Chains A and B, each alone.
Chain A
Amino acid sequence: MNFDFSDDQKALRNQSRRFLETACSMQRLRRILDNNEATYDRELWKSIAEQGWLGACIREEHGGLGLSHLELCVLSEELGRVLAPIPFASTVYLFAEALMLAGSEDQKLSYLPRIARGDLIGAVAGDDWIGSIIPLAQNRRTSFDNVGVTAQDCRLNGIKSAVIDGGIADAGIVLAREQDLLSLFIVNLNAKGVARKKVRTLDPTRDCAQWQFGEVLAERLGRPGQGSKILETVFDKAAVLIAFEQLGGADRCLEMAGLYAADRYAFGKPIGSFQAIKHKLVDVFVKNELARANCYFGAWALNTNAIQLPIAASAARVAASDAFWHASKENIQTHGGIGYTWESDCHLFYRRACLLSTAIASPEIWKERLVSHLEYQAEE
């Protein structure tokens, strides 16, 4: 049995944790939070590009480091711990993965090296309403009503209304309705006919925007009609990686709450000696451990491209979304009044927990995806 990260991967974890402690402190995060104009931490983006993180899983001939997805999982967990205010998930887990999965060699050569260098931010817009786009195992129907954008002769028209990192992205991958098919297109977001509008969200430390297309000339990604099939796999992969971010955030909440509970006195005793607090934090710990185990299985499935990936990804996403939400709310509770202030960092985790659990369809939808796969598997 070898169900753990390797020593090298653990060394990468320690090293990136040390780096992020200063490069992505809470003070830096607050600069994004408190400045309406700033949309991401450019300096951090530049320095992780220099370290190769943006191209971690991109093959060397496409300008990346050619590492495995396990290394990327390690980095995701660390970025999640510090709530990194950068478009890492959009660019790396979604945009780059979609290109690597479905792009032509020319497209890979054109986009991937720029991503790895930190010169191109990407974002992906699938459905335009609740994440009903993810087709279910047996019932491979996708509603056309939620797509928002139509395509004809590679010209796009319509709206994608809340694209995470959409305001700072240079290029977008867009799911569009092409007659009775769903297809993917790559769009230069600075091209003529693209109008972008900032969208405010509960988490101001991450960018979000509306995209409006009027006769925008786009480039096809994958074959016509393959759109939701490609996105399904991309979302499965991203679900595992985002789950590691959620896990990192959830662990950090538990650490914050534990430290505070040991220091803060009430009724002459540290509040951490009260069982109501203790048991609450143990419940957080339990959810975090269950999430960690599911994330690890997801990492294995992602890395080996196992047929269990849809099940493993769904389980990781559901467990990690639940863990992060629970940890972030109980962290505030443990802090009492100070936890409810803008000055306290607690709410930053609470906000990010909401952003991540809704980012690529909500857990409820992933639970349904999970069970329909289990049902299918049990029949065989």
Chain B
Amino acid sequence: MDFEDSEDEANYRAVVRTWLEANVPNDANGKHRRGVEGSESLRSARSWQARKASAGYACIHWPREWGGPAGTPIQSVIFHQEESKFVTPPNPFHIGLNMSVPTVLAFSDQKTRERFGFSAMNGDEIWCQLFSEPSGGSDLAAARTRVRKTQDGTGDWIINGQKVWTSFAHIADFGLILCRSNTDAPKHNGLTMFWVDLRSQGVEVRPIHEMNGSSTFNEVFFTDVRISDNQRLGPVDGGWKVAVQTLMNERLQSDSSGADWIDVLKMARRLPSIYGKSALQNPAVRQQLAQWYIQSEGLKHTRNRVITALSRGHTPGPENSIMKLVRASQMQDLSHAAIEIMGRFGVVDEAGGPEERSLFQDSLMWAPGLRIAGGTDEILRNIIAERVLRLPRDASHDKS
């Protein structure tokens, strides 16, 4: 048991590190921002993505048929570990490259793969995921956005309906969309998956103002949007399986941004508390810090176990499933506690103040979104209970 790379891994890491040192743009300022603000930041995001792609460091484990470098999952992990040590431009590509595009490529012909694989990997085109709807996000199979086959002999389809909470749709070129193709069948058997060009006639994207003040997700309206049958992914009425497979494209490079225990410790050491002591001398703060530390370390070493499985060529066990569930609430509680340590200055949103303040405030305002995005806390618990603990299916699991 150790944390050492194998010889191959160490060599790969050394090469990657040298490459990053020579290639990371020095004007990058991705910081802890999630979104892409302004055309300048999008331009730098694209050029960084293209630089990685040309060196074989984008979509590292994509197979050759997809235009990928056919590296191993462990190489992908190593690259992301090393990349995260640098400040790099924002990344509006990850939803597409990790979720949508692999599904498109897996379910389409070689011509389509050639058309989309490279341009997505290169950052030329951005993909989004059009799953959630106003009527339901957790209950994905209840999607109502309607798709009908035309009767004009072209085989084309017409989409009508609305999607919502679509991250990056405002800058995306294409999307993966789950539609209702059959209203008579039980809900899971009446869905079909397509890819769609967001510049098609009848598509309207309206940014949504998020609770933290930024705008990274959108409403997307479809009014008589015509698409061809070769945009269909998987069988007609067989879209549920395709959706499930998309959601299984689990992301290993978990997001390490946001406030953590060390930020609280460093700030609490400087700030005063009751009885003229520093906040760090307050036993209540210390006990909480210990708790947050074991959570963060627990996640870090859980990730190390997952990486070990990959390194040994095994499929990781179920331990990965706890990551977002633990981290989102921890980030929320910890940033809230940090705000309270600062007293009313914790809520002041002006320049100056403790240097960590904006980090805690950003984390506090992002955490509620993280607890919902990509499966809510409750849905994740359902999934872990059923898939990992093998408990009987939810009583509310309707098949109608």
A: residues with CB less than 8 A from B are 1-6, 70, 254, 258, 261-262, 269-270, 272-275, 277-279, 281-283, 285-286, 289-294, 296-297, 299-300, 303-304, 314-315, 318-319, 322, 364, 366-368, 370-371, 374-375, 378
Contacts and interface: CB of A to CB of B under 8 A. Distances in A.
A257 to B, nearest CB: 9
The DSSP consensus for interface residues of chain B is: helix
B304 interface: yes
A278 B385 contact: yes
A273 to B, nearest CB: 4
A282 B389 contact: yes
B297 A297 contact: yes
A319 B266 contact: no
Interface in B271-329: 280, 283, 286-287, 289-291, 293-295, 297-302, 304-305, 307-309, 311-312, 319, 322, 325-326
B291 to A, nearest CB: 8
16 contacts: A1-B308, A261-B391, A261-B392, A273-B392, A275-B381, A279-B381, A279-B385, A282-B381, A282-B385, A293-B299, A293-B305, A294-B297, A300-B1, A300-B2, A367-B290, A371-B265
Contacts of B312: 4
Given A278-B381, A315-B293, 9 more contacts: A1-B307, A258-B390, A282-B385, A289-B319, A289-B322, A290-B295, A294-B301, A296-B305, A303-B1
Interface in B34-50: none
Interface in B212-263: 261-262
B8 interface: no
B304 A1 contact: yes
Contact of A290 (B294, B307, B386): B294
B235 to A, nearest CB: 31
Contacts of A371: 265, 286-287, 289-290, 293
A70 B312 CA distance: 19
A293 B298 contact: yes
Interface residues of B, number: 54
Nearest to A295: B301
Contacts of B305: 3-4, 293, 296
Contact of A368 (B261, B286, B322): B286
* Most A-side CB within 10 Å, residue of B1, B5, B283, B286: B1
A273 B294 contact: no
A295 to B, nearest CB: 9
Contacts of A279: 378, 381-382, 385
B206 interface: no
Question: Counting chain A CB atoms within 10 Å of each CB, which of B4, B283, B392 scores highest?
Answer: B392
Nearest to A284: B389
Contacts of B384: 282, 285
B348 interface: no
A254 B6 CA distance: 35
Nearest to A267: B395
A322 B298 CA distance: 13
A378 B262 contact: yes
A318 B291 CA distance: 8
A269 B392 contact: yes
A370 B1 contact: no
Nearest to B317: A289
A269 B392 CA distance: 9
B21 interface: no
Contacts of A286: 322, 325-326
A323 B200 CA distance: 53
B394 interface: yes
Closest 3 CB pairs of A and B: A290-B298, A367-B290, A293-B301
